[in-house]
Amino acid sequence: MTDKKTFYVTTPIYYVNDVPHLGHAYTTVVADCLSRFHRLRGEEVFFLTGTDEHGQKVEQAAAAAGISPQDHCDRMVHRFQDLWRQLDTSHDDFIRTTQERHIRVVQAILTDLHDRGEIYKDSYQGWYCVPDERFWTEKDIEGGNCPDCGRPVVEITEENYFFRMGKYRQWLVDYITENPDFVRPQTRRNEILGFLRKDLGDLCISRPKERLSWGVEIPFDTDFVTYVWFDALTNYITAPGYLVDEKRFTRTWEGAHHLIGKDILTTHAVYWPIMLHALGLPQPKTIFAHGWWTIEGRKMSKSLGNVVDPGRLAEEYGIDAIRYFLMREVPFGLDGDFSKRALIGRINNDLANDLGNVFSRILAMTKKYFDGFVPPSGSGESPLAAQGAAAWEEVGKAAEKIAPHLALAAIWEFIGRINKFLDDEKPWILARDPEQRDRLARCLREGLEALRFTAILLAAFMPHTAARMWADLGLDGGPSLRGTVPGWNGLPEGGRTTLSGPLFPRIEEKD
Ligand code: ME8
């Protein structure tokens, strides 16, 4: 038996204290589309998301609420879990850094690296902001003051543990240079290579418990806890079974793709690869850092009161419309701006006009001229089959490249072809002439077949819409392939179609 490689995709594990917003939903939705696409092709998939639960902010928020940090995390984690349920994301696992399975792995890694001399103890000099309880380095502080709150900082020297990261700088430069798809897109790859031109210091990976106690305890020195990033990054190997199920781990890890925002590029493209390398583990296939969403041209922030709740948005406009907008509006990797106006524009033009219209036109004519029954396929060639196959191929290439905008562009090109086919054939005119009955049957049959094919193309990106199309076409189950590519002529003759309402009603723009 051969072990098939798994397509493994991760999102960042989000800070449990944050209110989930559109930015978090973005990364998770793209990971969901990729997962669904690879599953549709019959591949083994592992899709991981979760929450980052240790650190000072959690400790402080719990203290303010008068509860233990663990109770605080247990309360907060639901906000993410509920949102993913509401958005119907298909993750296979949800990891929390406070879980026993994770703590065990973090401690095992620390012990392993310490035993091999990759971690050492040293004294550390820095500038401490007492009211903020935060450490700063010499280059952070501004005129002797905290860069965050502006109050004076004090110089502190304390003992800490360090990871020998600096000696791997050249190794990492060579690895990134030899593996052009490792850090993506190209702009981020260049950014990291630029960052690595300077000397790389060792990484302080501990905090004394007197300063921070809410963290994973260092197993060989219980006066310390682990620095949050060392703990957080490890989640990516805990979940697929590192040190617990080596077979599953190896099979999954070989196909790892990390999706992140550009805000956390250095931790993922410098710290993490070096941690893995020092552990003797292979690198993930890709670290893809996408761009940043602003809202109506402004940074999303609590103080501006413009934080977009994706759950509310989905209630108002539908999950699939939001998914479509996020993926189509901006090429994955670039920054984007969200506005209601742009969202409504996409819904009215692309979803209601292009997709919705072609769907209702074909089903309405099938009802009118064939009482809703699928006409026989007849002989002769299928004018749209080759274009459908080409769209499928483009979608596959786009998924490989992690370019969901290109996948949707290819699908919409196909939808345009179907609309054009109807405009050329003019079934409403054919219907007036009884001698053209066969041609009318062939035309509508072709249109229905193209809609079935479109449902398959859309299944990973807009799963609810695809399922609804599938059901209205009188098909059982959900959109699926026969084999590894979707065939043409999958509609059973005599099947009964229904049009249960518009796929995407137009939205009136309010001023
Ligand atoms: O950084 N536009 O968690 P976090 C696009 N716990 N994406 C955005 C965004 C925006 N405006 N805002 C947030 C952490 N994101 C760490 C990660 S991983 C081992 C530890 C998304 O809650 C984007 O994916 O701050 C970004 O990288 C992530 O949320 C940051 O989430």
Q: Which atom of ligand 1 is nearest to the CA of 18?
A: 22
Q: Determine the residue type at 489.
A: N
CB under 8 Å to 482, separation ≥6 — which residues? Answer: 490
Residue 6 within a domain: no
Rounded distance between C-alpha atoms, residue 474 and residue 495, angstroms: 6
Closest C-alpha residue for ligand 1 atom 7: 23
Residue 352 within a domain: yes
3-class DSSP state for residue 188? helix
By most ligand atoms within 8 Å of CB, the mutation choice from 9, 10, 14 for ligand 1 is: 14
Q: Determine the residue type at 143.
A: G
Per residue in 392-406, pLDDT (tens digit) is 999 999 999 999 999
For residue 72, count other CB atoms closer than 10 A to its CB. Answer: 23
Could you tell me the distance, in angstroms and rounded to a whole number, from the CA of residue 262 to the centre of ligand 1? 8
Closest C-alpha residue for ligand 1 atom 14: 14
Contact 207, 215 (CB under 8 A): yes
By most ligand atoms within 8 Å of CB, the mutation choice from 16, 27, 49 for ligand 1 is: 27
Tell me, what's the pLDDT at 511? 56
Distances, alpha carbon 417 to alpha carbons 161, 171, 327, 372, in Å: 62, 50, 22, 23
Rounded distance between C-alpha atoms, residue 344 and residue 356, angstroms: 14
Q: Which atom of ligand 1 is nearest to the CA of 261?
A: 27
CATH classification of the domain holding 444: 1.10.730.10
By most ligand atoms within 8 Å of CB, the mutation choice from 13, 15, 19, 24 for ligand 1 is: 24
DSSP H or E segment with residue 126: strand 119-129
Residue 426 within a domain: yes
Pairing of strands 134-136, 119-129: antiparallel
Q: Which atom of ligand 1 is nearest to the CA of 259?
A: 24
3-class DSSP state for residue 88? coil
Closest C-alpha residue for ligand 1 atom 16: 14
CB under 8 Å to 145, separation ≥6 — which residues? Answer: 151, 152, 153
Mean residue pLDDT across the chain: 94
Tell me, what's the pLDDT at 1? 43
Could you tell me the distance, in angstroms and rounded to a whole number, from the CA of residue 229 to the centre of ligand 1? 13
Residue 189 within a domain: no
Could you tell me the distance, in angstroms and rounded to a whole number, from the CA of residue 17 to the centre of ligand 1? 12
Tell me, what's the pLDDT at 3? 57
Q: Which atom of ligand 1 is nearest to the CA of 299?
A: 11
Tell me, what's the pLDDT at 484? 78
Q: Which atom of ligand 1 is nearest to the CA of 262?
A: 27
By most ligand atoms within 8 Å of CB, the mutation choice from 16, 17, 26 for ligand 1 is: 26
Closest C-alpha residue for ligand 1 atom 12: 23
Q: Which atom of ligand 1 is nearest to the CA of 236?
A: 19
Rounded distance between C-alpha atoms, residue 29 and residue 377, angstroms: 37
Could you tell me the distance, in angstroms and rounded to a whole number, from the CA of residue 23 to the centre of ligand 1? 7
Count structural domains, the chain: 1
Residue 42 within a domain: no
Could you tell me the distance, in angstroms and rounded to a whole number, from the CA of residue 260 to the centre of ligand 1? 7
Residue 486 within a domain: yes
Mean pLDDT per 10-residue run, the chain (511 residues)? 79 95 98 97 96 94 96 97 97 98 98 98 88 79 90 91 97 98 98 96 93 95 94 98 98 97 97 98 98 95 88 96 97 97 97 97 97 87 94 97 98 98 97 96 96 98 98 94 84 91 89 56
Per residue in 329-369, pLDDT (tens digit) is 999 999 999 999 999 999 999 999 999 999 999 999 999 99
CB under 8 Å to 182, separation ≥6 — which residues? Answer: 175, 176, 189, 273, 283, 285, 286, 287
Specify the length of the chain in residues: 511
| pTM of this structure | 0.95
Protein residues with CB under 6 Å of any ligand 1 atom: 12-15, 18, 23-24, 26-27, 52, 232-233, 235, 260-261, 263-264, 292-293, 300
Residue 205 within a domain: no
Residue 479 within a domain: yes
C-alpha closest to that of 53 among 94, 90, 83, 111: 94
* Domain residue limits at 371: 340-511
* Alpha-carbon radius of gyration of the chain: 27
Contact 1, 16 (CB under 8 A): no
In sequence order, what DSSP letters do the residues of 47-60 get, joined into one string? Answer: EEEEEE--SHHHHH
Per residue in 33-64, pLDDT (tens digit) is 999 999 999 999 999 999 999 998 999 999 99
